[in-house]
Amino acid sequence: MDRRQISQLAHADHPIAAPLADDTVRRLLDRAVGTDAERVLDLGCGRAEWLQWLLALNPRVRAEGVDTDAGALALGRSGAEDLGVADRLALHEADAAAFTSPHPFDVVLSVGAAHAFGGLLPTLAAAREHLAPGGRVLIGDGFWEREPDAAALDGLGAAADEYDDLATTVDRVVADGWTPVYGHVSTLQEWDEYEWCWTGSLAQWALDHPDDPGSATAYRAAADHRAGWLNGYRHTLGFVTLVLRVSP
């Protein structure tokens, strides 16, 4: 069982792959899309959950998503069919960092996918390439709530310089030529719900499929993740989602 299979199973009960509550997702989409956006792009869309929500809420919008995970994209197409929005959704199996399009987009999303670009600022650089004049970017990434100790870094498999604190993170975004017009910092409740769903969904699948060749791997991955979170990065890793416009 590879990392992508584990991720799909772990997100069964929390398909938005970020520590964000449903109401938060709706509010962020409302702020990003507004009343005028018609074309939206998600770079690193996974199962295209953000786009499915967006299309269900906004019948005027057409959307495209890009990801390298064919299995996740297949789930996205199936979900869009179930919602009746598949005719307004195009999903591309491609490297999001290298994706090109013949037209710009009113909104570009990339939430929790900065690793695919090499960090937050490279993600914003990629988004800028696709953004129409006056458009908005919706981006989400981690930051340090407090200085990470060895347990937090071990739990995440991360380096101390992988993130900055919240103020420095926003300062870097502003210095890169962006103006935040809205933002949300994930609460501890949102984080806990996400992590309990992640570890619980995966563990439950393993318990329900003891004869599957991947069962032991999934069970161990859930246990390791739970230990890394509870004994390591809980209260240390934060997550901020920003709605941005290009600065004058």
Q: What are 164-223's pLDDT values in tens digits? A: 999 999 999 999 999 999 999 999 999 999 999 999 999 999 999 999 999 999 999 999
Distance CA 40, CA 110 (A): 11
Q: How far is CA 31 from CA 49, 107, 135, in A?
A: 17, 11, 12
Q: What is the pLDDT, as a whole number, of residue 1? A: 86
Q: What is the pLDDT, as a whole number, of residue 60? A: 94
SS3 for 224? helix
CB atoms within 10 A of CB 168: 12
Q: What are 9-60's pLDDT values in tens digits? A: 999 999 999 999 999 999 999 999 998 999 999 999 999 999 999 999 999 9
Question: pLDDT above 90 covers what percent of the chain?
Answer: 97
Phi (first) and psi of residue 147, to 5 degrees = -60, 125
The residues near 115 (Cβ < 8 Å, ≥ 6 apart) are: none
